[in-house]
Amino acid sequence: MHLTKKNFFISFLFVYFLVGAYFSLNTGLSFDEWVEQRNWEYNVALVKHILFDHELDPSFIDYGPKYYGIGFQIISQPIQILLSNAILNFQNIDSYASHILAKHLVVFSFYFVSGIFLYLIILKIVNNQFFGIFSTILYLLYPYLLGHGLFNPKDIPFLSIWVICTYISINIFTKLTQDSYLKYKDVILISFLSAFLLSIRVAGVLIFIQYLITFLIFLNSEKLSISSFLKSTYKKILFFILLTLIFTYFLYPVFWKNPFLLFEAINYMSKYPNDVCTLTLGKCMFSKNLSPTYVPIWLLVKLPVVVLIGLTLLPFTEKKIFVDKTKNITFGTLLITSFFIIFILIFSKVNLYDEIRQILFLVPIIFILGIVSLYIFSKKIFYFLSCITLFIFLVENVKIYPYQYTWFNTPSRILDLSKNFELDYWGISSRDLANKITKLNKQKTKKPCILVNPPWQIKSFLNTEHYSCFGLWGDIESDFQRPFFAVQNMRNLKKGKSYKCNSVYESKFNFLFSKEDIVTGRLLKCT
């Protein structure tokens, strides 16, 4: 029986990875992906400038988004170089798009790995292999996270490494409860992973809050004082701090000339200069002055119902969960970390936008809390609700592809989602709209112009020789050369149709149990 479960799980993972990889390579390009590529180019130019005295490109001298390391890029870029030509041969796209799409595969791989470590964390709380397998499948098919896992080069790698760091750190302290010796190889591993997390986004400093929480729970479980523990381990703790700083330094070229820029980076990222409007319950909530309700609202509409029910039952189940040292450390870490970090984010006025993607790393933690709580409360209720949820996930992952990242839970669909929330804010519909332009422009002697923000999202999927020029959406109300196509997507969908323009195509999808069509992009012909 044990072997059957294991074989089934391995088979599922194999098929899941192949299908997910295919999905990732055939989705559109998101708005921020050119920024991610630009960050890599900046870091490469900076390394050449520092090490080989190459002249720095003038466009990089006052480069704004420079506080990103190269950890994820060191892995992704070689794979992108190896795969981009193969993708180019099989898809009608340009070389830039093939390079970016190759990164999608790396991003999806990171999400896939996060599922493996989520499974290992769950087993530390509930020692039931079937529950662990079932919960992991539910997680991997969760449309909201899977949608991001198909392309999001910022938040998914961060989420994945956070989950790995969580497992490794918990594992270190649970081994210590069994009088195991703290090994230097464990210290080196957690140091490198922590630095790697920081190199993706400086918000990785929050992981040290989680480590502290795990440490304090461990001391409480063992009835140890801080001083007595430090007496035997202070050398390794100092080694951990020093090694983490060294790894971080090497993964952040921007710090090579001035390591103290780390503090500037933390301040810059927490107080991000752009004031972005995120449509939330019909209101435009600006990132520089967020309402305390912003995060709770988005969690309520993005978390699966089965997780939300489990979270509401936590007061009734926590005593049944905290029954031994391993469970205390594991579940206690997840519980306190998630609530504490959310509390900090709400009341410290951190700049958040694009729903909750900047705190996506907390969603797997909250996911575990919810499903474990519901399982402990009632196994029958858990499996009944989870089977329904799993069916919905399977259907919707096909039905709404490639817009899974816009997913909302079923109760929230009683609202008019288009009028109340951000949807395709990253412009994934660009690929579909580009394909439609190609069909509409077949065998035309006159080469039209195209207005779109940003142009590269559309150009990458077109034969540019068939178009006379590309402009920005803002030119639609000007005396720009007509006729032309105008691509209305992302936040431009909030604007009405401009004069002398007719809608010729809409990219849209429909959620289950919802009559409302979700329009993700609109193609206008302006005469």
Residues 332-380 pLDDT 10s? 999 999 999 999 988 888 889 999 999 999 999 999 999 999 999 999 9
pLDDT value at residue 479: 73
Residues 229-249 pLDDT 10s: 888 889 999 999 999 999 999
Q: What is the pLDDT of residue 423?
A: 94
Q: Which residue has the higher pLDDT, 513 or 124?
A: 124
For residue 487, the SS3 value is: strand
pLDDT band at 268; cut points 50, 70, 90: confident
Q: Where are the beta strands (DSSP E) in 452-517?
A: 469-471, 484-489, 501-509
What residue ranges in 287-443 does DSSP mark as E strands?
A: none
Question: 6 pLDDT band (50/70/90 cuts)?
Answer: confident
Contacts of 118 (CB under 8 A, 6+ apart): 135, 136, 139, 163, 364, 367, 368
Q: Residue 137 pLDDT more than 90?
A: yes
State the average pLDDT over residues 151-173. 97
CB 354 within 8 A of CB 276: yes
What is the reported pLDDT for 49? 92
pLDDT at 377 (0 to 100): 97
Residues 487-516 have pLDDT tens digits of 999 888 877 666 678 899 999 999 998 888
Please tell me whether the overall predicted TM-score, pTM, comes out greater than 0.75 for this model. yes
pLDDT at 411 exceeding the cut of 90: yes
Dihedral, CA atoms, 82, 84, 87, 89, nearest 10 degrees?
-100
**Mean pLDDT throughout 153-160?**
96
Span 250-266, mean pLDDT?
A: 84
User: Which residue shows structure tokens 């209305």?
Assistant: 488
Residue 493: its pLDDT value, please?
84
Q: Please, which residues have CB within 8 angstroms of residue 313's CB and are 6 or more apart in sequence?
A: 373, 374, 377
The whole-number pLDDT of residue 339 equals: 95
Q: What is the mean pLDDT of residues 10-39?
A: 94
Residue 68 burial class via C-beta count within 10 angstroms: exposed 0-12, middle 13-18, buried 19 and up? buried
Structure tokens at 364: 């797997």
Give residue 265's pLDDT band: very low, low, confident or very high (50, 70, 90). Answer: confident
